[in-house]
Amino acid sequence: MTIAAFILAGGQGKRVAGPIAKIELPIAGLPCIQHLLNTVESIKSLVPFIIASPEFAQKHTHHAIQKIPHGTGDAVRVGCQAWGSTPPDVVLILYADVPLISKESLESLLERHVQDNNDISLLSFNAPLPNNYGRIIAREDDHSVQAIIDGADEKRALSGCILAYSGIMAINGPLLWKSIKKLSQNNQQGELYLTDIVQIAHKEHHKVQHCMIPQEEAQGLNTWQDWMNLENIFQSRMRSKWFEQGTLISELVHLHHDTQLESGIRIEPFVTLGAQVSIQKGAHILPHSHISNSTIGPNALIGPFAHIHSNSHIHSHSHIGNFVECKETQAMEYVKAKHLAYLGNATLHKHTNVGAGAVCANYDGKAKHQTIVEEGGFVGANTTLIAPITVEKNAFIAAGSTVTKNIPENALAIARPPQENKQGWASACKKKS
């Protein structure tokens, strides 16, 4: 059986005007349409078939172009023409701006469509009024559907609830190829409504049924508020997923779609996780920390207000604390950098300590250079390490030093001007003033 997934991506998105098309807006760092494509591609029986706008088609994979948008029915008509004269067995109609429909719901829809020998199967949900969703006219006993009334074409009460149409349907290919030619623009919008196919099919005694899904799976992207809603839904789903695996995440944590977490982790409020973050068992992330493109090892303590990024790896039992930035940093086991430090292009071996105000001066204006602190090294407060430089095993750097040369094992480096005290200077200065 051939099942084509027609993905309608030709809308103009006028209410979400911005520098990129609405279906390219990121949700947890992944473009809206890619969420849907990932779901479609996870169902092996589906053949993705994207019907795009001319603008989207310039930069992205597509299979047909809807040059001038004249409604959902017109988009599907364009798709049918591009597919060819021989229709697939079933067509699954999906929308690029309805990205969070679940794999389970789509598989259930297709399974029921085949098992119940339906001609059309719709996904529906209960929607509180007021809303502009299409309203399904259906029997309660067998879920058979007579028609769908577009929200723009009827007057509705301001309260209550309707059986709403999600926009997603499975329809037998031959029926779609035949019915798409019967659509008309006789409606308030002057467009071809795909939903009119349901009424046409009912009048011709085809079997049309609906099945329910949670409303959040039907959330579309038509306004900036919708975009925020989609982000919140996806974040909530991810938190629930990690809760089940024994990870404690505050509601005020922002996760990325590819975040990887192990059990026993605690992530406190106002933490942002960017792309390609892996946090391992027992780690604790304190508030207001930002982590991206990095790995946090087991039982590490991060933050508060830490910034770890650019292929950094903080190994087990290390503590990267208040206002410490790590960029391309390798912090091995039991490293401590608790306060106000910049660690760029640095390798800190086991049991090293970095004092407050330490800076790895890694950039000479042309290239980045490495700072290496070997096992047991101690970097005093307010130290500047001018790379390339190596602090050998168990060496100490006195506070306030500017270090430009390698420091031998077990040595103490003092690189600061000698202190000079001028007796009576302060009193004399006050008399003059």
- Cβ atoms of 281 and 300 within 8 Å: the answer is no
**Per-residue exposure over 111-120, b if at least 16 CB sit within 10 Å of its own CB, e if not:** ebbeeeebbb
Structure tokens at 243: 């809760």
Give me the sign of the Cα torsion angle 223, 224, 230, 233: negative
**Per-residue exposure over 215-228, b if at least 16 CB sit within 10 Å of its own CB, e if not:** bbbbbbbbeeebbe
3-state class (DSSP) for residue 305: coil
d(CA 378, CA 247): 34
- Cβ atoms of 19 and 107 within 8 Å: the answer is no
d(CA 386, CA 364): 9
Amino acid letter, 354 = V
Which run of H or E residues covers position 270? none
Q: Which of 254, 339, 351, 369 is catalytic?
A: 339
d(CA 161, CA 131): 9
d(CA 27, CA 44): 24
Helix axes 103-115, 32-41, angle to 10 degrees: 50
Indicate if 351 belongs to the active site.
Answer: no
d(CA 198, CA 18): 35
Alpha helices in 70-219 (DSSP H): 72-83, 103-115, 173-179, 196-203
Give me the sign of the Cα torsion angle 127, 132, 134, 137: positive
Decide: residue 427, CB within 10 A, 0-12 exposed, 13-18 middle, 19+ buried. Answer: exposed
Q: Tell me the catalytic residues.
A: 339
